[in-house]
Amino acid sequence: MTLKTTTLAAFIVAGSILGSVVSVTLYAHETEQVGSENVRLNTFFEEIFERNVANSPNRQTRLGLKTKRQGEWTDTSDSVANLRTAEKKADLAILLTKFDYTKLSPESQLSYDIFRFNQEQSIENAIFLRHFYVVDQFRGQFTSPLSLLQNNHKVDTRQDALDYISRIQGLEGLMKEMVKKSQDRESIGVVAPKFAFPAMIADIRSIIEQSPLRNDIAEKITQLDISDAEKKIFVKQANEAIDGEFQRGYTALLDEVIRLSKLQNKVTGVWALPDGDDFYQNRIKHHTNLTMSADQIHEFGKADVARIHKEMRGIMENVGFEGNLQNFFRFVRTDPNNFYANSDVGREVFLAEARAETAEIFKVAPQFFKRLPKAKLEVRRVEKWRENSTSIAFYNVPSMDGSRPGIYYANLADMTGVQKYVFKAITFHEGVPGHHFQLALAQELEGLPKFRKFGGGNAFVEGWALYAEKLAKEMGFYTEPMHDFGRLQDEIWRSVRLVTDTGIHAKKWTRQQAIDYFTENTPISQQDIVTEVERYFVNPGQALGYKMGMIKILELRNKAQAELGDKYDIRDFHEVVIGTGAMPLPILARQVERYIAAGR
């Protein structure tokens, strides 16, 4: 009797997830059909991935690739963005018309589903191309090129040095393209809020004055195995580019930002933009993978804040604090034991502690994970020249070949805002078992299309990292009550985001209303509260993915535990979640359902 493809899929899922050996007899022609369709689909995916990488010199460098385009920047013009959208539409049409889903293996069906979901979402996003702020104080549009050169552009050969210099020269065109797009967006009323401009002006001026690439390229050239005379020539060419094209480009951008700062006097959410409500709903769907409305998320956030407050009161009573929760919040914000010294010594103490915690996690991780990334993780301070234009902490993925480690960056500009209690959880979020375990491992997975190894949506990636903060407690960390309070502080931070982000963009909250809600409901430092609120204004919806992703992962885990009972193994669950790369939450839910069914 011949097994149908759907039956085969169930058997294969059972065998792959539970590690058991499954023997299935197929007629030869059926095996050939399935194999052939898988090969065709994977070839299709690889061709698209290679094309997309070839179109982006920036991405090539981040992946650790050296190509003939290493001396260029990715074209950021609207015309090219529209071309990329047309390519996505054509790719999607081919996927839907040229491949037989029923003839694919379960793994290939998963790739098909993920690719389709991502393409459809990207095409929807393109409708709002001109709704995004060209430059703002948070997303690093003008600092990321410098970061790429410093952290990703390796100089091992003469050609690498020439390409670096070529990219310095290309910064003039890159910055002037930003000016062009900025003026276009201004024509339809898309200008960053008023508060964004002082930080941008300060950072661009700092970049112009410090010329942070000057020392970097000189040091890299010094390491080359070439004559001193050649080194001097290269350094001279680099300095000429910095004094010429680099300075002209950033000066042009500075002039534009100063011009806009004199015109902009508003601080509003995206509700004030053309089709702003539709744009925000698009952002919700993009960042959460869900079809929830802003009102639904807002109410869910308020309920979750109340739940965490209850847990916080338990810790407050445990440590013997007398007073209400708001009194305790004020204590946490001012407790000297909660802060590092605001000096380079304090910064080094922080970095040493974060590195030690990272090492400890690796020791116990095999009890919770079947696979760990091979790539190393480094803990670094955010460079001074971009401290004003980055978030509190973030993670950079390793290079594709593993030669560059994963990097957990902490913004240590002002240590009076770096709380010990909460930063323990942030370390687990940005490093291990958070982003590094998920993102670095995905790149190392074998047998997957590259778009799955190097992709990942906000809800999955950030949801996993927030889940990892809670997982760290199960792994034996947060042994002191106040460190566990810091974990809850970090979690309620993400719950408050649900309320404030939707408040700003759907309910027309003012900046001060959002700050007040944050202050009343969290013990986060005032410095961090302002940074966070201003972040939500310029990056609508992005802050929603963290908590909604975490909730979905916990919901799926609880369901697996309840239905599998003694057969449940947390290592198997984690393998299902991050063992095959990132995926949209609805597709992750289907994968977990299959895992549960196979376990039963």
For residue range 185-224, list pLDDT tens digits in order. Answer: 999 999 999 999 999 999 999 999 999 999 999 999 999 9
* Coarse DSSP helix, strand, coil percentages of the chain, rounded to the nearest 5 percent: 70, 5, 25
Q: Is residue 338 part of a domain?
A: yes
- Would you place residue 33 in the very low, low, confident or very high pLDDT band (cuts 50, 70, 90)? low
How do residues 435-459 score in pLDDT, each as one tens digit? Answer: 999 999 999 999 999 999 998 899 9
- C-alpha 380/C-alpha 412 separation (Å) is 10
Burial class (CB in 10 A: 0-12, 13-18, 19+), 369: buried
Whether residue 231 is found in the same domain as residue 305: no
Q: What is the mean pLDDT of residues 181-188?
A: 98
Output phi, psi for 63, to 5 deg.
-80, -5
- Would you place residue 389 in the very low, low, confident or very high pLDDT band (cuts 50, 70, 90)? low
Q: Is residue 597 part of a domain?
A: no
**Domain-ending residue, one of 216, 239, 266:** 266
Collapsed DSSP state (helix, strand, coil) of residue 44: helix
**Domain-ending residue, one of 243, 266, 289:** 266
**Cis, peptide link before residue 274, omega less than 30° from 0:** no
Whether residue 398 is found in the same domain as residue 253: no
Whether residue 189 is found in the same domain as residue 242: yes
* Percent of the chain predicted with pLDDT > 90: 88
Q: Is residue 294 part of a domain?
A: yes
Q: How many CB atoms lie within 10 A of CB 103?
A: 18
Q: Is residue 490 part of a domain?
A: yes
Whether residue 158 is found in the same domain as residue 258: yes
Residue 452 CB-half CA count within 13 A: 25
How do residues 476-488 score in pLDDT, each as one tens digit? Answer: 999 999 999 999 9
Whether residue 420 is found in the same domain as residue 453: yes
What is the per-residue pLDDT for 32? 53
Whether residue 259 is found in the same domain as residue 323: no
Structure tokens at 567: 């057969």
Sheet containing strand 377-381, strands side by side: 377-381, 406-410, 393-396
- The total domain count for the chain is 3
- Would you place residue 421 in the very low, low, confident or very high pLDDT band (cuts 50, 70, 90)? very high
- C-alpha 223/C-alpha 21 separation (Å) is 53
The full DSSP string for 80-95 is HHHHHHHHHHHHHHHH
- C-alpha 413/C-alpha 386 separation (Å) is 10
- C-alpha 394/C-alpha 408 separation (Å) is 6
Whether residue 255 is found in the same domain as residue 320: no
- Boundaries of domain holding 162: 144-266
pLDDT of 234 higher than 90: yes
How do residues 340-363 score in pLDDT, each as one tens digit? Answer: 999 999 999 999 999 999 999 999
Determine the Cα angle at 564 with ends 559 and 565, to 5°. Answer: 105
pLDDT of 100 higher than 80: yes
What is the per-residue pLDDT for 34? 61
Q: Is residue 360 part of a domain?
A: yes
Q: Which residue has the tokens 């007040």?
A: 516
- Per mean pLDDT, which range of 30-39, 47-56, 120-129, 199-208 is the poorest? 30-39
Contact 378, 405 (CB under 8 A): yes
Where residue 161 sits, what CATH number does that domain have?
Answer: 1.10.132
Q: What is the mean pLDDT of residues 260-280?
A: 97
Mean pLDDT of the chain: 92
- Would you place residue 385 in the very low, low, confident or very high pLDDT band (cuts 50, 70, 90)? confident
Whether residue 115 is found in the same domain as residue 38: yes
* Cβ contacts of 508 within 8 Å, gap of 6 or more: 268, 269, 271
Whether residue 177 is found in the same domain as residue 221: yes
- Per mean pLDDT, which range of 35-39, 152-156, 574-578 is the poorest? 35-39
pLDDT of 8 higher than 60: no
Whether residue 178 is found in the same domain as residue 309: no
Q: Is residue 481 part of a domain?
A: yes
Whether residue 220 is found in the same domain as residue 101: no
Q: Is residue 561 part of a domain?
A: no
